[in-house]
Structure 1
Amino acid sequence: MEELIRELEELKNKYAELEEKNSGLELERQKLEKKVAYYEECLRLSRHRQYASSSEKSEADSRQLLLFDEAENESDVKKPEPTVCEITYTRRSRKGGSKPEDDFEDLPTERLEYTLSEEERSCPECGGKMHLIGYDERREIEIIPASVKVVVHAQGIYGCRRCERENTHVPIKKADVPAPVIKGSAASASSIAHIMTQKYMQGVPLYRQELSFMKEGIKLSRQTMANWLLRAGKEWLYPLYNEMRRKLLEEEILHADETEIQVLREPGRASRTKSYMWLYRTGKYSAYPVVLFQYQETRSSSHPIKFLNGFRGCLHTDGYAGYGRLGAEIRRCGCWAHVRRKFHEGIQAVPQEEQPTCASQKGLEYCDRLFSLERDYAKLTPEERRVKRLEQSKAVTDAFFAWVSNTPALPKSALGRALHYALEQRPLLETFYLDGRLEISNNMAERSIKPFVIGRKNWLFSCSPKGAETSAVIYSIIETAKENHLKPYEYLKYILENMPNTAPERYHTILPWSKELPCHCKLKEQTDSTAGDNDESCDHASDAGVNDSAE
């Protein structure tokens, strides 16, 4: 009997051991299942980023632009050809209607008349002389590729014949001549402005411009073009950049963002080390729109602290923690577009059949509701918008954060990261209630930095810090010109023509918002809206990427 009891005890112990082992295996199985689910999420997100559309719209546009079949995809045989009408007729026909997609009204017109010779004017019936009844007109748009020519500036030098005969000293006078953009160089204002806009606005690297010039029979090396950009930027664009920075720091609302840039020859750093291009810009309601880029070797918070020294107000940023050290005089405003983006990623991380009902979809709907309300407030004054936000938007955000706090999720999952980001950023995301001029997103900064990001895909890297700094200044001038409704090429050309002949205390007359800028620098819409206030500026209107190895 005692032996049976011992055997029973042994069996109980073995059973307990098996139960404990089974419990451990169950826990291990659950851990492995969570890990597999996490890896599946990562795989789906990776595939989505690599192959799917980058758009975050709730209803994706099914229309896709195909690079090689663009002509076939974009053509519309039913669309009527654009016409070049008389100004009076075109303007009358537009009243109450929308502006046509193709508009050639403001283009210069050249008239070619084809007439019969005297011998050909004899009537085939009676032999009498025929007279001109009228013209059957056909209008065409002619595009002339860029032409290059050498302009010789010959400065007249004058001496006195009488002094030559009678005196030992002969006075010399010289005719006035415009100062060159770069002394001892063949560079002109138009050539430098063209190279700048091609590289920094159209994304054409200098080596491609070199090849393009070569096909036209022009030998202009990328090294020469790089030297022109570096010297012109240092001598003439930096002073304007500093003036624009001073104006930017006087604002009450700013936006900031940063993106990567690769610079090869940085002292003491490997060529593949990441550097950063920082962006700072004014808000929607600024009277003097400014967009400034700044190159820095790192992403350290010391850079915005130094650049924004003297600024007092609200700063729109993303969730980067480095902006949190700016000081009490700067109040940060969070970005709801980044919150929405993380929930959008959460939707893409789950299987397609589960996406319509997943928790991330609920978070996305809250964000969409918030952006929809902002579209409804678009035409309100800032004060009216502030009141509406407190009445309507606050209820949405309160419900959103209550939902976020009560939604369970694995910390490392896409949903978990989205929920954590929203809760962590909550104080910054609710800042927009304070002022109707504030935005609910940092999209203005992201739109302004986009031309640099697109250009980077073409020229890939900068070779030196000096080139990266010059690129930042040129991007700043071009993007600020666009914000002020200027033609970048014409404005750059005007800067380079006039600054060498302008005293430093008059540089403020060349800034992008100056009333003294000539009409040919401005887009037509801006010229029309300011014609009554700025007619005098038309009187003095003239007709008048750094080297891939130095960028």
Structure 2
Amino acid sequence: MSIKSEKQFEVIIEKLDQLLEENKQLKTLLAQKDDELSLQKEQIEFLTQKLYGSKKETLKDDPNQGNLFNDRLFSEPEQTGDQSDEDEVIITTERRRKKRKGLKDQQLSSLPTVDHIHELESCTCPTCKEAMKEISTQLIRQEVKFIPARVENHRHFQKTYACANCEKSGTRTPFAKSEIPRLPLNNTVASASSIAETMYQKFEQKVPGYRQEAFWNLLGYPIPRHTIANWHIKTSQYYFEALVAVMRQELLNQKVLHADETTFKVLNDKDRQKSYMWLFSTGKYSERAIHIYKLGPSRSGSVPRDFLEEYTGYLHSDGFSGYNNLPGMTMIACLAHIRRKFYDARLVLSNNLAERGIKSLVMGRKNWLFSKSFEGAHAAATILSLVETAKSNGLHPRKYLDYLLTYLPNRQNTPLEAYLPWNPKVQVECR
């Protein structure tokens, strides 16, 4: 082989080595890309499942897996002897739940009833022209009539009395005046029923102030939204806060409690973006059904620590760290969030009781958006505590608020315990 051929051969070998090295590097790079692509596919599948997949903890039926509890297998009679070759005919009947009889009549019986008797315009017999006699009256139908709300101007006059005999004898004449029940607020035309209606609309029906303003305008007596807010704040400060304080003492006497919290925006709070509304409720099997909302400046554990103070029972929560390290309490985790063992029959599976209670506030928050001031936020917590506690004790919230605003302004020596939702008289008046 010539020298030129040897050099060409070496160049070819060197070029081949370079190509082999490049091929090796490309294979390594391709393997890395395949790994990255596989990881991205897994992430896409995971996120797709999180967004659009089933959220319930249910298992799909596997046709290849037998059923441990096969009802049909155990319900069929044991076959003995020779069996017929004829095809078995199975007749399946659908069992339908019977409609509960008398439910409509039961519901209608609780309503005020007005009877309409429809008479003939002429009771003359078309054949002989003599007067016909009534032989029966038959109920043809019942209908529920809606009576729209209305406002009335109720004027209260006070009579003054003087002794005519003393006046004749020249003696100093004594005067006596009839008593007039006090209004919840001075220097206003708002009655107990008017204020109770605004509270019912906001905290039960979740109607914000501007829509209430339009509602009262349609009724013929415009009430500005800021006036409604002032009514709520003042009545809460004058009457309701003391009543909720008594409810809190009763709540702390229970052995099992629930707690939850959610964000709540206060518009005039310039220092922080959001505050928190906390809910503390008695347990499912507690003697008293109580729900108390409390506005907190943050999500710090100091809020439940200050509210619960020396409470020494069980506390259900969702596992939020703010409930940890509360002295004297036994923390109970929520089965809806994690799994746990059970040691006391009074402890329920989950914290759903508080979750449902806080949902009432969340639904209202979507409509109200915020409270303008801390006073308004505290009033919202106080009134919502009374509304939810009244409902849990079988009371109509509007009737209960009306009852409180009627009797609390005129209360003298009656203890506040007489106005709690479970009091027998309150139960009779406010259902």
What code does the residue aligned with 2:356 have? R
Q: Tell me which residue corresponds to 1:315.
A: 315
* Counterparts of residues 442-481 of structure 1 (less than 5 Å): 442-481=351-390
RMSD across aligned C-alpha pairs, in angstroms?
Answer: 3.4
Please state if 1:124 is matched with 2:123: no
Instruction: Specify whether residues 124 and 464 from structure 1 end up closer, same or farther in structure 2 by C-alpha distance, changes over 3 A only.
Output: same
* Counterparts of residues 383-462 of structure 1 (less than 5 Å): 429-430=340-341, 433-462=342-371
Q: Matched residues in 2 for 1:167 and 1:222: separation?
A: 56
Q: Matched residues in 1 for 2:413 and 2:35: separation?
A: 72
Q: Matched residues in 1 for 2:298 and 2:366: separation?
A: 20
Indicate conservation of the 8 Å contact 2:261/2:276, yes or no. yes
What's the TM-score, normalizing by structure 1?
0.62
What code does the residue aligned with 1:112 have? H
Q: Matched residues in 1 for 2:58 and 2:214: separation?
A: 43
| Deviation readout 1:452-487 (Å, 9 max, x if unpaired) | 111222122211111111111111101101111111
Q: Tell me which residue corresponds to 1:109.
A: 113
What code does the residue aligned with 1:465 have? F
Q: Tell me which residue corresponds to 1:184.
A: 187
Instruction: Specify whether residues 210 and 325 from structure 1 end up closer, same or farther in structure 2 by C-alpha distance, changes over 3 A only.
Output: same
* Counterparts of residues 3-22 of structure 1 (less than 5 Å): none
Secondary structure at 2:406 match in 1: helix
Q: Tell me which residue corresponds to 2:68.
A: none
Secondary structure at 2:403 match in 1: helix
Unpaired runs of 5+ residues, structure 2, are: 1-12, 61-98
Instruction: Specify whether residues 292 and 23 from structure 1 end up closer, same or farther in structure 2 by C-alpha distance, changes over 3 A only.
Output: farther
Secondary structure at 2:336 match in 1: helix
TM-aligned CA deviation for residue 278 of structure 1: 0.6
Q: Matched residues in 2 for 1:31 and 1:453: separation?
A: 42
Instruction: Specify whether residues 285 and 504 from structure 1 end up closer, same or farther in structure 2 by C-alpha distance, changes over 3 A only.
Output: farther
Instruction: Specify whether residues 176 and 14 from structure 1 end up closer, same or farther in structure 2 by C-alpha distance, changes over 3 A only.
Output: same
Q: Tell me which residue corresponds to 2:198.
A: 195
What code does the residue aligned with 2:126 have? P
- Give the share of equivalent positions with the same residue, in percent: 37
Secondary structure at 2:363 match in 1: helix
Indicate conservation of the 8 Å contact 2:258/2:316, yes or no. yes
More helix by share: 1
TM-aligned CA deviation for residue 181 of structure 1: 1.0
Q: Matched residues in 1 for 2:279 and 2:108: separation?
A: 36
Secondary structure at 1:146 match in 2: coil
Q: Matched residues in 2 for 1:226 and 1:303: separation?
A: 26
| Deviation readout 1:516-546 (Å, 9 max, x if unpaired) | 2252412xxxxxxxxxxxxxxxxxxxxxxxx
Q: Tell me which residue corresponds to 1:303.
A: 303
Instruction: Specify whether residues 132 and 297 from structure 1 end up closer, same or farther in structure 2 by C-alpha distance, changes over 3 A only.
Output: same
TM-aligned CA deviation for residue 244 of structure 1: 0.7
What code does the residue aligned with 1:218 have? Y
TM-aligned CA deviation for residue 16 of structure 1: 9.3
| Matched length | 383
TM-aligned CA deviation for residue 505 of structure 1: 4.7
What code does the residue aligned with 1:113 have? I
TM-aligned CA deviation for residue 42 of structure 1: 3.6
| Deviation readout 1:101-123 (Å, 9 max, x if unpaired) | 67212111011223356xx3343
What code does the residue aligned with 1:308 have? L
Q: Matched residues in 2 for 1:520 and 1:322: separation?
A: 40
Q: Matched residues in 1 for 2:229 and 2:44: separation?
A: 47
Query: Which is greater in Rg?
Result: 2
* Counterparts of residues 58-137 of structure 1 (less than 5 Å): 58=58, 100=103, 103-116=107-120, 120-137=122-139
Indicate conservation of the 8 Å contact 2:149/2:219, yes or no. no
Please state if 1:227 is matched with 2:230: yes
Instruction: Specify whether residues 251 and 22 from structure 1 end up closer, same or farther in structure 2 by C-alpha distance, changes over 3 A only.
Output: farther
Secondary structure at 2:109 match in 1: coil
What code does the residue aligned with 2:265 have? Q
Please state if 1:262 is matched with 2:171: no
Q: Matched residues in 2 for 1:453 and 1:197: separation?
A: 16
Q: Tell me which residue corresponds to 1:483.
A: 392
Indicate conservation of the 8 Å contact 2:421/2:427, yes or no. no
Q: Bigger relative contact order, structure 1 or 2, given CA contacts below 8 A and separation 6+?
A: 1
Indicate conservation of the 8 Å contact 2:395/2:427, yes or no. no
Q: Matched residues in 2 for 1:485 and 1:509: separation?
A: 17
Instruction: Specify whether residues 190 and 129 from structure 1 end up closer, same or farther in structure 2 by C-alpha distance, changes over 3 A only.
Output: same
Instruction: Specify whether residues 161 and 98 from structure 1 end up closer, same or farther in structure 2 by C-alpha distance, changes over 3 A only.
Output: same
Q: Tell me which residue corresponds to 1:277.
A: 277
Indicate conservation of the 8 Å contact 2:240/2:383, yes or no. yes
Instruction: Specify whether residues 332 and 99 from structure 1 end up closer, same or farther in structure 2 by C-alpha distance, changes over 3 A only.
Output: farther
What's the TM-score, normalizing by structure 2?
0.79
Q: Tell me which residue corresponds to 1:540.
A: none
Instruction: Specify whether residues 16 and 322 from structure 1 end up closer, same or farther in structure 2 by C-alpha distance, changes over 3 A only.
Output: farther
